Amino acid sequence: MTAHAPADATLTAHALLLDMDGTIVNSDAVVERCWRRWAAEHGLDGDAVMKVVHGRQGYATMAVLLPERPMELNHEDNRRMLAAETADVDGVVPVPGAPAFLAALAGLPHALVTSADRALSEARMTAAGLPMPPVRVTAESVGASKPDPEGFLKGAAELGFAPEDCIAFEDSEAGITAARAAGMRVIGIGPRAAAHAPDVAVADLTSVRVEGDGTDGRIRLRITAAP
């Protein structure tokens, strides 16, 4: 059963771990262009492909869609896909509320945990006009893609907090599964997240207000339901 944010709910954590695509950056237009083109090249149904691409690294998506294919071919295709996505930022915009949300996190413990590589994350954050968190876990940082929890566990460790003291922000099934496997609470952003029972689901980041609490060092999140 999907959780939905009641009016004036409050959550606290020592640190926040943020997915990028679909969570703070809306890159759906680019993802659709690149992955539907890849689907057509491999004789796959574009709609079916789009149901599994979100949250995972490209090679992991390809392994799901073409399970008999040698993994080295997936990695080769993934390198080409990353180059194409990095060069294409047309339509990349911030998720509503993301600029104010990230501005409020300045100086507070938070990290980016994304399936994008470093170059792609820089291209999309720049295109969306968002500041890059000082701590980031990208594709190069991990040996396993989401839904494996490795990225979230590394992000928590780099920030110096136990996973249970962190809240993850995610938009996809793979990301929510990864954060839960890491032992974190999850705030789901957007319609994809709402379908996978995060602890709290909101339409976008306009529903989340960040407050630093000087008394106990915690980050306080005030969450309001959409009107």
Residue 2: inside a domain:
no
At 137, give phi and psi (nearest 5°): -115, 115
Q: Does one domain contain both 140 and 209?
A: yes
Q: Is the pLDDT of residue 139 over 80?
A: yes
Residue in 21, 171, 199, 204 annotated catalytic: 21
Overall average pLDDT of the 42-52 stretch: 94
The pTM of this model reads 0.91
Give pLDDT, residue 8: 66
pLDDT tens figures, 161-214: 999 999 999 999 999 999 999 999 999 999 989 889 899 999 999 999 999 765
Residues 150 and 165 in one domain: yes
Look at residue 108 in the predicted model and tell me its pLDDT. Answer: 95
**Range of 137's domain?**
9-27+92-223
The predicted-structure confidence for 53-100, as pLDDT tens digits, reads as follows 988 999 999 999 999 999 999 999 999 999 999 999 999 999 999 999
Residue 51 lies in a domain: yes
Q: At what angle do helices 28-41 and 71-87 cross, to 10 degrees?
A: 140
pLDDT tens-place string over residues 90-132: 999 999 999 999 999 999 999 999 999 999 999 999 999 999 9
Pair (56, 155) in one structural domain: no
Residues 20 and 44 in one domain: no
The pLDDT value given to residue 212: 79
The answer to whether residue 3 sits within a structural domain is: no
Q: Are residues 206 and 166 in the same domain?
A: yes
- Mean pLDDT of the 28-45 span: 95
The number of beta carbons lying within 10 Å of the beta carbon of residue 70 is: 9
- Looking at the fold, whether 20 and 77 belong to one and the same domain comes out as no
Could you read off the pLDDT of 8-21 as tens digits, one per residue? 689 999 999 999 99
Q: In this predicted structure, what is the pLDDT of residue 226? A: 54
Number of domains in the chain: 2
At which of 87, 106, 132 does a domain end? 87
% residues pLDDT > 70 (the chain): 94
Look at residue 227 in the predicted model and tell me its pLDDT.
47
126 and 20 assigned to the same domain: yes
Residues 148 and 97 in one domain: yes
Average pLDDT, the chain: 93
Which of 87, 113, 132 is the C-terminal boundary of a domain?
87
Active site residue 171: no
Identify whether 146 is part of a domain. yes
Residues 169, 64, single domain; the answer is no
153 and 56 in a common domain? no
CATH number of the domain that residue 205 is part of: 3.40.50.1000
Whether 19 is a known active-site residue: answer yes
- Residue ending a domain, among 59, 87, 115, is 87
**Does 159 share its domain with 124?**
yes
Selected catalytic residue, list 19, 77, 165, 171: 19
For residues 157 and 58, state if they share a domain: no
